[in-house]
Amino acid sequence: MSNHVILRLTVGSGRLSNPLLACTILQVKKTPTFIRNKYNRRLTFSTIFYIVNPSVSPATNIDLLISKELTPSQKRNLLFNIGLPLELLVQDFDSNWWPLISNVWTGFDFKKKANGDSSQTYTCRLTKHNQSSTRKEGIPSNKRRKTKIRPSHLCFVKIKVQRFVAERKVHVERFENSPDHTHSLDESDKVKRPQVIRNLVEQEAIKNYRPPAILNAVKEYAAETMDLNSSVKELRLKEVTNIKYKVRGTLDAHLIGSPGREKNIQELIFFLEQKKYRVERYMISNKFTHGFVFIHQKQIENLEKYGWLTLIDSTHKTNRYDYRLFTLYIRNGYSCWDVGAHFFVSNEDSDTIAEALKIIQKFAPHWKPRYFLQDQSNVEANSIKLAFPGLRNGEQECDTIFCTVHLLRTWMSKIYDVKTRQKMIQAMYKRTKIGCEAFIQQAIDECPVPTIKQYIKRYYAKNNHQWALWARQHSPLLLQVTSTNSLESYHSELKRTTSSQHGLIGACHKVVILDQKKRTDSEYVAFEFCIKKISVIGVDDEILNELHKFPFPIQRMLADEVCAVEKRLEKGKATPGLTSLYCNCTFYHRYLLPCRHIFHEHMYGTTKLLTVDSWAKFQWMFEENGFEVYMHHELVEVDISEEIKAERAAENRRLAINELMEKTRDIYWRVEEKGDEKQTGALVEELKSCLEPILNNVRAKENL
């Protein structure tokens, strides 16, 4: 090898020396190199020694082995400012080299020979031979498009790429008398991104991720894995969004369906019936509105069994016809949320929605809803009254109650006075009707803003049974489920996959997929409901053994209550002093199970409340049922001493009647002090008309 020259390239330096480009590489050896920086610390670089023959060829022949050793950044630098010719394999050039630099060059001239060999001239993208046209005059500024004008004739570099079919090689060289670039590689990246970056975006777009997530993933991968930080830093969200829509357009063709609405609906009905859904289309002739209901057999079973409390809500922008999607949601016996039914409506009015509910009731004849939980929509409330008239038709009464989370969001904007809003929140969580009404009145009296006073009087003073929790104290289930958050989460998950550009069949495709996912999740929860056992550190073995006799979701709740005892001790709280398995806390009222206060008294107090019989009583609740035990379960307190119970009840009645009498006297004197005899007389007559029938009825019963 006496005639060979050894050259060294340190990978990571970002540039290759010119001698490498002027010779043919014969052999590659790799060894570590150590240097010291200005802080005298040793740095390690992977150094490649190239054994070359300077007299063989004027072009640098880069084989696959050397190509793999070069970083993408080094390859870009080689193809940006080409000093001497390069030779590469066709496949390697097309896959690993040209996509890195495709944004720099644009095609200028192309020639092809009879034997298949070709030659193409590329010019720098910043050459731009033609100057941009000027903006038209006389166009208002608010109607002008926001455009950017790129100057022309900035750079005149040209290269020639020759392809040799027989040798399967590509020869790249600078065009004759071509100058160097007048700009940096970063300037080219600002104008357009290389094809390799666009390929990364397309790969992520196929997975249907959201554009911001795609942008972050591509930037992270390109910078850390491919050493293309300078290329990817100019990538913008708008460009990612456009690429995604271009890619997904072909993949989502089946979701768009036929252009006509009628044909689109026929396609979705056929599709839903294939997926074992029962479908019925209907129309309200006097309002020119229509819709269609679809429900799976499994959903019918869930609705009939667990539809005592049903959540209802709608969502929009799932299809290009702006049909609103309504979903009925239930909680099954395994404490898992699942779908009850769906329906689309062309217009959100009470008659159209009521007709859909009647069709669902026809599909599920044993569905007897007692409560509908909704987000304070008057349209939904009126439609429920039309579909379920209640006792006047000889049916079970059906009430609508409001979501507390939605209510608080509304109050944040409508009741913007903080003190007044706090009073209303206290009224919401008050456990007695009298206490709730007292807080409402305080909020009205103490509110400094007249418009807020009027708002509370008009919308919340007379219907507190729909939004206040005192009206739900009789049912643990109503105390457990106070919001429609679970249904909103379902719609949120659905809208991540749907688009306002899809047809109705596209929306139904996504609904069917999500419904199947919910059924699968429910089956998994049901499988581990009575099998899975919880493991908790720091819990007494005796208590843990008793917890394992409950269903798994109950085990987790009780374990949290046991662990909360330690937090009570850390705060220095004393034992509650309970003498029975009854507590006035929220957890006990919701689940009728031992709470942290009962555990605290049992573990550190004088009374061992949780005996073997006590545990058996709680475990018996779930012996043959799951969470459906809470549907019709009402809290009944049986005191050991019936006399004490009677005394307490009598005292509560006396307090209630005294409070009512005080309120009546207070109202009378407020009217009397105004000096209006007619108004005072009207109040007295109204009180008489209300009280006389009640008093006469009581007297009649006493005389029997």
Identify whether residues 396 and 419 lie together within a single domain. Answer: no
Name the pLDDT band for 5 (thresholds 50, 70, 90): very low
Strand order in the sheet with 158-164: 60-61, 86-89, 169-174, 158-164, 118-124, 105-112
Q: Is the pLDDT of residue 279 over 70?
A: yes
Domain with 380 in it: what CATH number? 3.30.420.10
Other Cβ atoms closer than 10 A to 557? 17
Half-sphere exposure of 657 (CA within 13 A, CB side): 5
Q: Tell which of 573, 600, 630 closes a domain.
A: 630
Q: Quick one: average pLDDT of 364-379?
A: 93
Name the pLDDT band for 662 (thresholds 50, 70, 90): low
Residue 527 in any domain: the answer is no
* Range with lowest mean pLDDT among 178-182, 312-316, 470-474, 479-483: 178-182
Helices H / strands E in the chain, number of each: 30, 16
Predicted pLDDT at 285: 87
In the beta sheet, which residues pair with residue 29?
49
**What type of residue sits at position 659?**
E
As a whole number of angstroms, the distance between CA 210 and CA 216 comes to 10
Q: Which residues does 229 contact at the CB level (< 8 Å), separation at least 6? A: 222, 223
Q: Is the pLDDT of residue 356 over 70?
A: yes
Identify whether residues 10 and 34 lie together within a single domain. Answer: yes
Residue 369 in any domain: the answer is yes
Q: Tell which of 480, 506, 533 closes a domain.
A: 480
Tens of pLDDT, residues 122-158: 999 888 777 776 666 667 766 666 666 677 778 889 9
Identify whether residues 155 and 64 lie together within a single domain. Answer: yes
Residue 473 in any domain: the answer is yes
Q: Is the pLDDT of residue 26 over 50?
A: no
The candidate with the shortest Cα–Cα distance to 193, out of 215, 163, 162, is 215
Maximum C-alpha span of the chain? 133
Q: Which residues does 333 contact at the CB level (< 8 Å), separation at least 6? A: 305, 306, 625, 626, 627, 628
Identify whether residues 273 and 367 lie together within a single domain. Answer: yes
Q: Quick one: average pLDDT of 451-467?
A: 93
Identify whether residues 325 and 371 lie together within a single domain. Answer: yes
Backbone angles phi, psi at 315, to 5 degrees: -140, 160
Identify whether residues 474 and 492 lie together within a single domain. Answer: no
Q: Quick one: average pLDDT of 600-612?
A: 92
The residue with greater pLDDT, 403 or 207, is 403
Q: Which residues does 697 contact at the CB level (< 8 Å), separation at least 6? A: none
For residue 444, the enclosing domain spans 404-480
Residue 671 in any domain: the answer is yes
Is 592 strand, coil or helix?
coil
Tens of pLDDT, residues 484-531: 999 999 999 999 988 888 899 999 999 999 999 999 999 999 999 989
Identify whether residues 18 and 114 lie together within a single domain. Answer: yes
Residue 425 in any domain: the answer is yes
Burial of 227 (0-12, 13-18, 19+ CB in 10 A): middle
Q: Is the pLDDT of residue 15 over 90?
A: no
Identify whether residues 9 and 105 lie together within a single domain. Answer: yes
Identify whether residues 592 and 626 lie together within a single domain. Answer: yes
Identify whether residues 435 and 397 lie together within a single domain. Answer: no
As a whole number of angstroms, the distance between CA 556 and CA 335 comes to 12
Other Cβ atoms closer than 10 A to 22? 17
Name the pLDDT band for 438 (thresholds 50, 70, 90): very high
Percent of the chain beyond pLDDT 90? Answer: 50
- How many separate domains does the chain show? 6
C-beta separation of 487 from 327 below 8 A: yes
C-beta separation of 452 from 420 below 8 A: yes
Other Cβ atoms closer than 10 A to 464? 20
Q: Is the pLDDT of residue 30 over 60?
A: no
DSSP class of residue 180? -
Q: Quick one: average pLDDT of 580-592?
A: 93
Q: Tell which of 568, 595, 630 closes a domain.
A: 630
Residue 301 in any domain: the answer is yes
Identify whether residues 488 and 475 lie together within a single domain. Answer: no
Q: Locate 417 and state its tokens.
A: 């006075």
The per-residue pLDDT of the chain, averaged, comes to: 83
C-beta separation of 329 from 403 below 8 A: no
Identify whether residues 424 and 318 lie together within a single domain. Answer: no
Residue 399 in any domain: the answer is yes
Tens of pLDDT, residues 240-264: 888 887 877 655 666 776 678 899 9
Residue 170 in any domain: the answer is yes
